[in-house]
């Protein structure tokens, strides 16, 4: 074996492999730190209410069940899965449960992009 191969196998963690996970952990910690502002959007409450409605009724609504002005009009609930996840997270951990889920989703999005970019860069330089 060459010296380079031996040094590479001695490493427990390869930096290129660990980088996306380190970025994810950093983003997760950062997002948790700003938790009070994370879900301050008024739509968060409607997403939570709709998630609870879906769990209570066992179906995705086809009409708006909460609007004062447009109650009963056709309405596609295209975010139903995230609303159910928010409702389950809220039931399990309250507001911090929702923050943890939102933080995990935000942290998970970046490492995948970094990993893909690193793979493309590696292929580019190998060619």
Neighbours of 120 (CB within 10 A): 10
Helix (H, G, I), strand (E, B) or coil at 74: strand
Helix (H, G, I), strand (E, B) or coil at 41: coil
Let me know: does 42 contact 35? Beta carbons within 8 Å. Answer: no
* E strand or H helix at 45: helix 43-57
Radius of gyration of the chain (CA): 21
Let me know: does 22 contact 114? Beta carbons within 8 Å. Answer: no
H helical segments located in 58-79: none
- Calculate the alpha carbon distances from 98 to 40, 47, 68 in Å: 12, 11, 26
Q: What is the pLDDT along the chain (127 residues), one digit of tens a residue?
A: 556 555 555 555 666 677 777 777 787 777 777 766 667 777 888 899 999 999 999 999 998 888 888 877 888 888 999 999 999 999 999 988 888 888 777 767 666 666 676 676 666 555 5
Q: Distance between CA 127 and CA 123 in Å, rounded?
A: 6
Let me know: does 24 contact 109? Beta carbons within 8 Å. Answer: no
Residues in the chain: 127
């Amino acid at each position: 074996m060459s010296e380079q191969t031996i040094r590479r196998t001695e490493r427990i963690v390869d930096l290129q492999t660990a980088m996306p996970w380190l970025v994810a952990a950093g983003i997760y910690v950062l997002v948790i730190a700003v938790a009070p502002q994370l879900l301050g959007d008024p739509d968060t409450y409607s997403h939570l209410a709709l998630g609870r409605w879906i769990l209570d009724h066992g179906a995705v609504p086809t009409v708006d069940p909460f609007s004062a002005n447009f109650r009963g009009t056709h309405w596609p609930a295209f975010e139903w899965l995230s609303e159910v996840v928010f409702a389950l997270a809220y039931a399990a951990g309250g507001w911090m449960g929702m923050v943890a889920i939102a933080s995990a989703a935000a942290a998970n999005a970046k490492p995948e992009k970094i990993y893909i970019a690193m793979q493309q860069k590696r292929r580019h330089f190998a060619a």
